[in-house]
Amino acid sequence: MNMRVNKVSLPAQKCIAGENVKNLADYELLAAIIGTGGRGCDVIDVSTGLIKYFGGVSGIFSAGLREISGIKGIGMMKAVRIQAAIELGRRALSGPVAIRQIDSPRSVWSLLLPELGGLAQEEFRALILNNKNMILKKVLVSVGTISEAIVHPREVFREAIREGGCSVVIAHNHPSGICTPSMEDIRATERIHEAGKIIGIQLLDHVIVTNTTYLSMKEEGYLQS
């Protein structure tokens, strides 16, 4: 067994000795979750190898259970621990919504990032608002492929009509991390905007969400009042 890691240098021991867990590097956080190494490799080797293989924490987030378990030194039990830790963090972020009023594209991004961040495919959401831009309902409209979400205006406005909404904000994620809208994004925005004018429910904005930033199609001039 490889015994080269000094016990004091292990992440858990560092925190017990006074280090703030927030100061740990990604590989150290992962090592603390994994707990032990494997045959011929210590826990730091395993955690750094895992991060390297998946290209970072976001890659691990998107990986499947058996995909993670196949990495040297992991196995099914440790893979379950990793996914459980990720899910716990996701649930913490997706808890009771603190944002009840939509006053900017950033508030849309902050609201939806816990749900859309790290997804491998596009998901399209609609926020139904009252006349004070308070959220009446948050709706999953569609789940698309990795490159395209298929959206029809009726799917956006059905719940808005039922809830007596005055306006809607639509949003979807770009798994690529690039905010630039596709032609389909632009066309879908135009279709939904025109349908809203006929129905009498205004489309306020279409926000593209990535893990690190967002794009407002209203602010960028793709959506005219």
* Chain segment 6-19, per-residue pLDDT in tens: 544 688 888 888 88
β 135-143/167-173 pair status: unpaired
Same domain, 82 and 120: no
Query: What residue numbers bound the domain in which 119 lies?
Result: 105-216
pTM reported for the whole predicted model? 0.66
Given 27, 59, 93, which residue is the final one in a domain? 93
In a domain, 221, yes or no: no
157 and 199, same structural domain?
Answer: yes
Residue 8 has what pLDDT? 43
Query: Buried b / exposed e across 101-133, counting CB within 10 Å, b at 16+?
Result: ebeebebbbebbbbbbbbbeebbbbbbbbeeeb
Beta-strand pair 167-173/202-209: parallel
Q: How do residues 89-113 score in pLDDT, each as one tens digit?
A: 877 766 555 557 899 999 999 889 8
Cβ atoms of residues 119 and 125 within 8 Å = no
Reported as a single tens digit per residue, the pLDDT across 134-179 is 999 999 999 886 556 678 898 899 999 999 999 999 999 998 889 9
